[in-house]
């Protein structure tokens, strides 16, 4: 279905035959306007019940004073399912456009981001709102990992052959440790669950003020171990060209955790399994990015993030004693 048709279905005045231009390079996200203001139209989770679950969760957060975007009023059914040419449903949603600054990477912004994640993890933990669930970490099959490793090394040889030896060693060692220790440990663990964005990174935050970010994209939300969500944020917070285009430094990570720990105290088991959580998050979330982001490998800024994600010693993201 033409995305301009979706915009018209929500009531936007978009001329027939026009092609909307996404403001986001990785998915269709459109900034639209009408007499009432500026809006963001994008996809959310499908089926519609899952999209509605995300809405229920974000509205519950907002009711508790958590700064997170919620669906805009005045657009009829929102979110709404649309049939595609393949007779599959896509679920689209309209949000208010949130004015503010993008993340720049200073310690105040980092601490405020950690504070917001802590507030999210600490709020409404006893209700799941119908969100998708994962009782533990996402387990990745060995065949898929082998394909990822091959694809990553192809990118390395093409764009950064000088680090090929280090990349081979890192990939081999982490895959081995994943299967021998980290995954078996976490599959047996039952860590505290929370409702999480499952995609908490700087590109999904807007700062109306320097120390008060708003989560403007919660559409990947799910109910997962909160420490797993924290580990994913630790690894990917600077993805998509945000900040310094690298994994957190130890001092930045300390600032993030200082904000986070104002609201959440990790359990003994979460602390004991933290290194395994980091590795499982790296295998689950980093490998596919390193393999699939061919355009990023060719980009000067994003390639620095990818190299950092690949080669940085994960111990730099340790928890304080």
Domains of the chain by residue range: 3-96, 107-317
Q: Which CATH architecture has domain 107-317?
A: Alpha-Beta Complex (3.90)
- Give the whole-angstrom CA distance, residue 184 versus residue 125: 26
Enter the pTM of the model. Answer: 0.95
pLDDT in tens, the chain (321 residues): 679 999 999 999 998 878 899 999 889 999 999 999 999 999 999 999 999 999 999 999 999 999 999 999 999 999 999 987 766 789 999 999 999 999 999 999 999 999 999 999 999 888 999 999 999 999 999 999 999 999 999 999 999 999 999 999 999 999 999 999 999 999 999 999 999 999 999 999 999 998 899 999 999 999 999 999 999 999 999 999 888 999 999 999 999 999 999 999 999 999 999 999 999 999 999 999 999 999 999 999 999 999 999 999 999 999 998
Q: Which CATH architecture has domain 3-96?
A: 2-Layer Sandwich (3.30)
Please give the structure tokens belonging to residue 127.
Answer: 């209700």
Beta-strand ranges (E) seen in the chain are 29-34, 37-44, 80-83, 89-96, 132-133, 193-196, 205-209, 212-215, 222-225
Classified as helix, coil or strand, 254 is: helix
């Amino acid at each position: 279905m033409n995305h301009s048709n979706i915009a018209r279905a929500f009531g936007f005045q978009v001329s027939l035959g026009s092609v909307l231009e996404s403001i986001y390079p990785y998915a269709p996200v459109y900034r639209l306007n009408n007499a009432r203001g500026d809006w963001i139209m994008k996809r959310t989770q499908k089926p519609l019940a899952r999209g509605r679950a995300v809405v229920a969760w974000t509205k519950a957060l907002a009711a508790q004073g958590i700064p997170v975007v919620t669906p805009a009023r005045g657009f009829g059914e929102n979110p709404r399912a649309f049939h595609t040419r393949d007779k599959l449903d896509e679920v689209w949603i309209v949000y208010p456009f949130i004015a503010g600054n993008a993340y720049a990477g200073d310690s105040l912004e980092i601490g405020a981001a950690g504070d917001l994640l802590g507030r999210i993890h600490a709020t409404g933990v006893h209700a799941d709102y119908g969100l998708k669930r994962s009782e533990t970490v996402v387990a990745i099959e060995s065949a898929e990992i082998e394909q990822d490793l091959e694809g990553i090394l192809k990118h390395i040889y093409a764009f950064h052959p000088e680090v090929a030896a280090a990349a081979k060693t890192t990939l081999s060692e982490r895959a081995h440790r994943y299967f021998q220790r980290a995954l078996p440990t976490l599959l047996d663990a039952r860590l505290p669950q929370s409702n999480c964005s499952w995609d908490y990174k700087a590109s999904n935050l807007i700062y109306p003020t320097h120390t008060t970010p708003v989560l403007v994209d919660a559409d990947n939300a799910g109910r997962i171990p909160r420490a797993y969500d924290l580990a994913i944020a630790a690894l990917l917070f600077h993805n998509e060209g945000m900040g310094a285009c690298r994994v957190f430094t130890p001092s930045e990570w300390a600032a993030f955790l200082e904000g986070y720990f104002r609201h959440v105290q990790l359990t003994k088991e979460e602390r004991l399994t933290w290194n395994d959580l980091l590795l499982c998050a790296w295998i689950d979330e980093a490998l596919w990015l390193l393999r699939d982001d061919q355009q990023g490998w060719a980009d000067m800024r994003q390639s620095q993030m990818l190299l950092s994600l690949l080669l940085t010693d994960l111990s730099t993201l340790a928890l304080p004693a």
